[in-house]
Every structure is written in C-alpha cells, then in structure tokens.
Amino acid sequence: MTTPGREVLWTPPPGRVSASNIIRYQRWLATEKNVPTDDFDSLWCWSISDLDKFWLSIWEYFDVIASAPPQTVLADPRMPGARWFPGTRLNWAENLLRHVDEPGPAIISVNETGTTGELSRAELVAQVANLAAHFREIGVRSGDRVAAVLPNIAPTVVAVLAAASIGAVWSCCAPDFGVKGLVDRFAQIEPTVLIGVDGYQFNGKRIDRRDVFSALLEQLPTVRHTIMVRNLGLEGRLPPEVADYADLVVGDAAPQYEQVPFDHPLWILYSSGTTGLPKGIVHSHGGILLESLKANALHYDLGPADRVFIAASTAWVVWNMLVDVLAVGATVITYDGSPTYGRPDHQFEVCARYGATRFGTGAAYLTLCEKGGTQPGTDFDLSRLRSIMSTGSPLPDTTWRWVYDAVSADVHLGSDSGGTDVATGFIGANPISPVRVGELQGPYLGVDVQAWNEAGQAVVGEVGEMVIAAPMPSMPIYFWNDPDGNRYREAYFDVYPGVWRHGDWISMEADGGCVVHGRSDSTINRGGVRMGSADIYQAVETLPEIAEALVIGAELPHGGYHMPLFVVLREGFDLDEALVEKIRTSIRRQTSPRHVPDEIIDVPAVPTTRTGKRLEIPVKKLIQGVAPETAINRATVADAAALDWYIDYAERFHSNSEGG
C-alpha cells in the first residue's frame, strides 16, 4: 500500500551534503560539461535522458584506467545485447588496485573471535601480482574459468582480483554448499582451476570441508590445477597435486594487468536455481567497474577514508559489491563466521570494534536485532558509522524506526533493491535526499526505472511492474551456455520485448521515493486484485508474537484460489483464536480486507534460498500440485528440512480437496 507523505526519519545535515561526492560531481558536471542540475531528481532525469553523456561523465570523472579512450558510448541500445564502449580496453582489477598510495589498510580480516589480520594496500597489490603470476605459469589464459569454494576472507578477494587481472573468469560458491549444489554450478562452466578451503568456522565450530573438496574435484574433469586455502590451519599435509595458497602469494612478481575489451567476462554469478539448474549470469569488466564507481562514490558516498563491513556469504552478490568498494579506495572488512555469534547484534559489535563507517546487511538481520530487543547504539561505540545498507528484502516500517532509535539517530539508512542480475541496485540510497520511513530514496543514476500498469504505461503513486526501460552497463553480457540467448531473453524480456522486467512490484512515489511491494512473479491475485506479499509481511512480522511469515496465493484447477499464510511463532506463543484474530486485524488495518488470507498456519520454519529469499514460488507450485522434484531444486535451499513440512502440507491439502 502506498502512503502519501511518508514521515521523514533523517535529513542529511547541510555540511554532509555539501561535502558529499555527488555534490562535487554535480559541480564538475555544471562547470566542465555545462550540465547544471539542482537536486537529485534533476540529476537523475538528466542521467537517463542522455545515457551517452552520463556514462561518459562517469568514465571521465573517475578517470578510468584504459588503454584506448572511448570513441562511442552506447553503440547499440537494444536490449538484450546492448553494446557499451566498443573499442576500449581496460581491466577491472587494475582500476580497483589503483589506490595503493591512500592511507589505511586494503582489507581487515575478522572472524568470530577477532581480527585475523590486515593487508596493506601494497600487500594486496603484491599478493594479487604473485597469484596472477602463478596462474600464468600454470597456463591459465584469458577467458579460462577459475572456480572457488571460499568464505568471505581476504584470500577470496586476492583470488578474484588475480583471476581478473589476467582476464580469467571468476566464479565462487560459499563453503557451506553441498557437493551437488557445487557441481550443479561449476560443471556448467568447466573450470580449469579450482580453489578450495580446508574449512570455515560457524558458531564456535570449526567445520572441515576437505572431503567436499575431494568429492567435488572428482566430478569436475576439466580442472587441471587445484589450490587450497588453509583457513583453519587444519593438520595434515596437502596431497602433492594441491598447491598451498600461502606459497603462491609471496614473491616479487610485478603487477601486470591484461587489458580486455569492455565487455570481456569478469565473473559468473548464479541465479537462485530454485526450480532448475542455476543459470550462470556473466558480467563484464567494464560494466561492473563503471557501476561500482557510480554506486560507491555517488550513492553510498564512499572514499578512501571509509571502512565497509558486510558479513555476506560469497554466494550472495553483495559479497561482490563489497569487493567493489576498492574501486573508490575504501577498506574492505571481511568476516568469516556466524553473523549472530554470541549475540544477535554481533555485527554491530564488529562495526564498532573495527571502525566501520558503512555496514551492509540483509533487512532480515536488522529485523532480527529489532525483535531481539537489542540496543546496539547503547552497547557499542558506533560513532564512526555513517551509513547502513539494508537489502535482500523490503525493510518493515518498525525496523526503519528501530535503526534510528536503537542504532543511531544520525546514520544514513538506505534500503537498496537490485540483484545478482546487475550486481548493484536499481533503486535505493542517495546521500542528499531525505530518508522516509518505508521508502527507498529513489532510482539509481543512469537507471531508467519505471512502474508499469497492466496497459504498459508508467504510473506514479500506483503499484506496477518494475521495468528498466533503457540498458545499464552492468546488465549481464550473456548467460553461460546460452548461445542463442534464449534463456537470457526469457529471464527478463519475455513480457515486454526490449524492456527489462525484473519481477518486482514497486510504486514510484510523488515525493521521488520508491516502495517495493514484493515479487511480481509470486503475486497474489485474488479476484483480479493484485497484491504484493511484502505488504502482508509488513503487517504480520511487526507483531511481537511472529518471528517470520510466508504467504502465497495459488490458482487451483476449476478456478479455485487458495491463499494460506504460514507463520513461525516466537518462543512462548501459541496460534490460538485470539492470535489468529490479531493477525487478521493487523492485515486488514494495514493493507485491506482483501489481503486477509484464507488460512493461517503455524509452521516450524520458512524455507529460504541460501541468500535468504523466501521460497514463495516453489511453495506455491507445491500447493498447485507440482511434484516436489520439479517444484524445487533442494540443493539451493538454505535448510532443506524446512521444506519438508510444506511438501507434507501440499499432499494433505490435495488429498483433502480431492476427497471433498
């Protein structure tokens, strides 16, 4: 539901606005390019009205290192297949490692019990150069795939930079993946190098993954070279064919960067793959570089004095976004362990201890801290924290308020929505507009984002399909093993040819902000009224009795419709009549009577992907009678046992409806 005139929670102080990168960029645009803009909205309007000038301005303003300067910006604007900066040659890693003379470390490595080390900027450059020299020595060539199963630790950052520096294509999974999940992804891309880890830690336990590494290797016949990172320092010698990472990053190799075409593949990320084999999403050196310069400097206001902490799994695109902060010279704080180690607000403890100026996390984590009654602003010294990025799912209104009450009254809280598909946001934070409760501050520069009604018209103040009407440089260059581009087209362009449909419901608000209402492909459409699940979660998950919820609407044979709401109760509560009524009332009041579900069911857990997205579509399919093996790929589920309850429920639901 859109609410006009949402309450302003934070207004950036004038001194902070005038010192921001985006204001400096605006001044430069006015004086050097004769493009005067007054505020964020006018800057955004200009950025999408002249994509060529906008993206060229990003290239020039940030002085991209390249061997051939751009002659043309957007050579072909058609989607899919837009062609950016043809003829230029550059390297993403070279541009990320250029800030070697700035003060402060490049990487601070943290695990559950404290710091495990720091890498200076010069050390990072040297380690990357030595690992890259090893890759060259063993015959890895531009375009070869380097696959890694590594946690969020410094060697992972070194390895992605080293692979990219020679033009090899990087692909990483987190070490908590099982063998099947790893094979599903890596067998497709036929890597020549596999980098593994002896183990990782989680909640005080040291988890040995050497068996998984061996089992994976057996199923990847293309791998010619293996490297092990001894993260836990587990006893025992490595088999002779496995190189020890620690030996490969020392030496005196000079940095050397292979300059590649703008659209040369940088890394392969994966779609969630909940209903099929995960799709390999391929991004380019140039696209990711320009996007990270723009987003980190202009939207997140980061520079060399910043320290960015995100305890993201390496399987989540947000980890790639963490590495990308090196593009503006910021320090990366990596984290290996449980994000809630010892106490729910442990991540704030890490922010305080290591002086993070920016903290990125999932909305669900902030809500967990809120529900746990934590007061990080009182318990820890968060005086250096300037901004928080909440992403992954919409942030409930109570959590927006909690951040300002319990974390800091003077922090720039941004809720950002984008995805693996573009390795950035489409809509989210900017440092010069007010922060309003429940609202993303606005579109990202250069992103022609619109909400379309059913007639395909752009609407304001109404819920519509989120579309991106013009290309962005960081859109995928292609999907892996998709020679005719069919899978790419089906993923984004099957509804509106030539226009990217992302699959989210949003509203563009009259005040310039945006609201995300949930996934449009899991839309609840009851009697012709389309509703986003996020509005229902907002009404339900703010109740103290409810820990989490999942709602779906399933079209059934013969025109039937079933809309169950699954709730996980907090300890000490029962789903009695009174609570059922309370939930219904909350939904009715905060949304509308049509949003009230048919049934409210107490469940042990909400199944999610490994990156914490609720599995609405697979659960909907189960309830529509799709066989479990078709409805869901279990290897992609964070806790496969959580799903079994829904499989049983769907069976019971079907036998009851057949019987009745």
Contact residues for ligand AAE (CB under 6 A)? 317-318, 391-392, 416-420, 425
Provide the minimum distance between the beta carbon of 61 and ligand AAE in the complex, in angstroms, as a whole number.
23
Is the CB of 425 or the CB of 518 nearer to ligand AAE? Answer: 425
Is the CB of 191 or the CB of 419 nearer to ligand AAE? Answer: 419
Is the CB of 35 or the CB of 422 nearer to ligand AAE? Answer: 422
Q: In which residue are the tokens 């092990």 written?
A: 228
What residue type is assigned to position 415 of the chain?
Answer: S
Provide the minimum distance between the beta carbon of 599 and ligand AAE in the complex, in angstroms, as a whole number.
29
Is the CB of 124 or the CB of 266 nearer to ligand AAE? Answer: 266
Distances (CA, A) of 508 to 130, 154, 391, 459, 535: 49, 39, 18, 7, 15
Contacts of range 639-643, beta carbons closer than 8 Å, 24 or more positions apart: 639/605, 639/607, 639/608, 640/607, 641/605, 642/604, 642/605, 642/606, 642/607, 642/608, 643/607, 643/615, 643/618
Distances (CA, A) of 84 to 11, 92, 464, 542: 36, 15, 29, 45
Is the CB of 152 or the CB of 165 nearer to ligand AAE? Answer: 152
Is the CB of 2 or the CB of 390 nearer to ligand AAE? Answer: 390
- How many Å is the maximal CA-CA distance in the chain? 76
At 167, which helix (H) or strand (E)? none
Crossing angle of the two packed helices 51-61 and 285-293, in degrees rounded to 10: 80
How far apart CA 255 and CA 158 sit, in angstroms, is 13
Provide the minimum distance between the beta carbon of 152 and ligand AAE in the complex, in angstroms, as a whole number.
15
SS3 at position 557: helix
Alpha helices in 493-624 (DSSP H): 533-541, 577-590, 616-623
Is the CB of 299 or the CB of 346 nearer to ligand AAE? Answer: 299
**CB distance 570 to 545 below 8 Å:** yes
Provide the minimum distance between the beta carbon of 295 and ligand AAE in the complex, in angstroms, as a whole number.
9
**CB distance 323 to 266 below 8 Å:** no
Provide the minimum distance between the beta carbon of 658 and ligand AAE in the complex, in angstroms, as a whole number.
39
Is the CB of 175 or the CB of 394 nearer to ligand AAE? Answer: 394
Is the CB of 420 or the CB of 507 nearer to ligand AAE? Answer: 420
Is the CB of 99 or the CB of 517 nearer to ligand AAE? Answer: 517
Provide the minimum distance between the beta carbon of 400 and ligand AAE in the complex, in angstroms, as a whole number.
17
* Strands ordered across the beta sheet of 417-419: 417-419, 424-428, 442-443
Provide the minimum distance between the beta carbon of 418 and ligand AAE in the complex, in angstroms, as a whole number.
4
Q: In which residue are the tokens 């907002």 written?
A: 538
Q: Which two tokens stand for residue 652?
A: 């019971």
Alpha helices in 19-143 (DSSP H): 21-33, 40-49, 51-61, 92-96, 121-137
Is the CB of 318 or the CB of 622 nearer to ligand AAE? Answer: 318
Provide the minimum distance between the beta carbon of 390 and ligand AAE in the complex, in angstroms, as a whole number.
10
Provide the minimum distance between the beta carbon of 533 and ligand AAE in the complex, in angstroms, as a whole number.
16
Q: Which two tokens stand for residue 263?
A: 């659209």
Closest CA to 375 of 408, 342, 400: 408
Q: Which two tokens stand for residue 527?
A: 């009697």
Provide the minimum distance between the beta carbon of 316 and ligand AAE in the complex, in angstroms, as a whole number.
7
Closest CA to 290 of 492, 96, 86, 128: 96
Is the CB of 128 or the CB of 317 nearer to ligand AAE? Answer: 317
Provide the minimum distance between the beta carbon of 368 and ligand AAE in the complex, in angstroms, as a whole number.
16
Provide the minimum distance between the beta carbon of 315 and ligand AAE in the complex, in angstroms, as a whole number.
11
DSSP letter at 6? P
**CB distance 47 to 33 below 8 Å:** no
